[in-house]
Amino acid sequence: MLRQIFLTQTSKQRSLPIGRAAVQIAILILICASSLAGCASSPNQIAGDGGPGLDAFQSNPDVVGSNALGFQKTASSGTQRDAQAPGALSATSGNSGYLVGPTDILEISVFKVPELSKSVQVAGTGTINLPLLGEVQASGKTASEIEKDLTRQLGAKYLKSPQVTVYVKEHNSQRVTVEGAVRKPGMYPIRGKLSLVQLLATAEGVDKDIYSKDVTVFRTVDGNRTSQVYDIDAIREGKADDPPLRQGDLVVVDTSAAKSALQNTLRIVPAAAALRPTVW
């Protein structure tokens, strides 16, 4: 374009006096040189539109998801699904991995059918008794699986598109026992996943005055009792894995003989001081 303007203006100057033509040609050359210098200094600017160049889009944090031409990028379907996932959680997701067992209490709700909504306890046989359906197997299944079974059975004979919700109200069937040098020994239910450190925290921690770093976990598998010793200090420091616990595990926090002896001595000293004869 500039070349065409330059040739046109040059042809027009042939009829002008030599001095005047030379001046105009020199001015034209300066204008062309300035234009070329401006283009070279802004390589990322969109030519001819006078607007911001590519750098403006790339460096502006307010233009989120924009490309070089200013078109906004749309999120992929996978990203949209991930964003919606938290709101799509079901009411039973909190105990979806927990296997129901005898003595557990389930909260069953059937939408717009209050007669079928109730709390039931799983019997020793692993079943629950419900209106219309009678005995229904529940033991060994998750709350989500029980939901599906009840929805299928009610929908097959009694209700049209029933909406059933099952929630484990009380976890009683799966328990672990902790004893030894802990502040609150006893039996604790397993709600989902439970690790060794989590159990000790539930038992209000170890008794620091007498505990040993060794913790023994006893487990019965197929009638055979096994044991494994863990270093609780190493687990807390991240040097060893925190093992998961299972139904029926017995956790014993060992007692340090030296710490116990020290505590016994501290108890005896005040008593001995009280028996010391009084000097009149």
Q: What is the pTM of this model?
A: 0.51
Query: 212 in helix, strand or coil?
Result: strand
CA distance 245 to 200: 11
Match domain 175-260 to its CATH number in 3.10.560.10, 3.40.718.10, 3.40.50.620, 3.20.20.30. Answer: 3.10.560.10
Least confident of 76-85, 89-98, 226-235: 76-85
Q: Is 236's pLDDT higher than 70? A: yes
Percentage, residues of the chain above pLDDT 70: 57
Q: What is the mean pLDDT of residues 88-95?
A: 36
Average pLDDT over residues 225-245: 95
d(CA 84, CA 186) in angstroms, rounded, equals 41
Choose between 3 and 122: higher pLDDT.
122
C-alpha span between 243 and 17 (Å, rounded):
99
Q: Range with the lowest mean pLDDT among 92-106, 174-188, 262-276?
A: 262-276
Segment 117-142 mean pLDDT: 96
Nearest to 146 by CA among 88, 94, 99, 114: 99
β-strand pairing of 127-130 with 118-121: unpaired
Cα separations in angstroms, 200 against 93, 111, 188: 25, 40, 10
Where do runs of H (alpha helix) occur along 119-217?
143-157, 196-202
Residue 269 has pLDDT above 90, yes or no: no
N residues, the chain: 280
- Amino acid present at 179: E
- Three-class DSSP category at 207: coil
pLDDT exceeds cutoff 80 at 226: yes
CB atoms near residue 196 (< 10 Å) = 22
d(CA 171, CA 106): 9
pLDDT at 133 over 60: yes
What average pLDDT does the segment 146-150 reach?
A: 97
pLDDT score of 98: 86
C-alpha to C-alpha distance for 59 and 53, rounded to whole angstroms: 10
Most confident of 109-118, 203-212, 260-269: 109-118
Q: Give the homologous superfamily in CATH for domain 93-170.
A: wza like domain (3.30.1950.10)
Provide mean pLDDT across the span 57-83. Answer: 36
Is 144's pLDDT higher than 50?
Answer: yes
Question: Is residue 138 over pLDDT 70?
Answer: yes
Instruction: Name the residue with higher pLDDT: 261 or 179.
Output: 179
Task: Assess whether pLDDT exceeds 50 at residue 88.
Answer: no
Q: Where are the domains of the chain?
A: 1-69, 93-170, 175-260
Strand partners, 127: 137
Model confidence at 156: pLDDT above 90: yes
User: What is the reported pLDDT for 23?
Assistant: 47
The residues, any chain, with a CB within 8 Å of residue 205's CB and separated by 6 or more, are: 182, 183
Convert the pLDDT of each residue in 181-223 to its tens digit: 999 999 999 988 899 999 999 999 999 888 889 999 999 988 9
The pLDDT value given to residue 96: 52
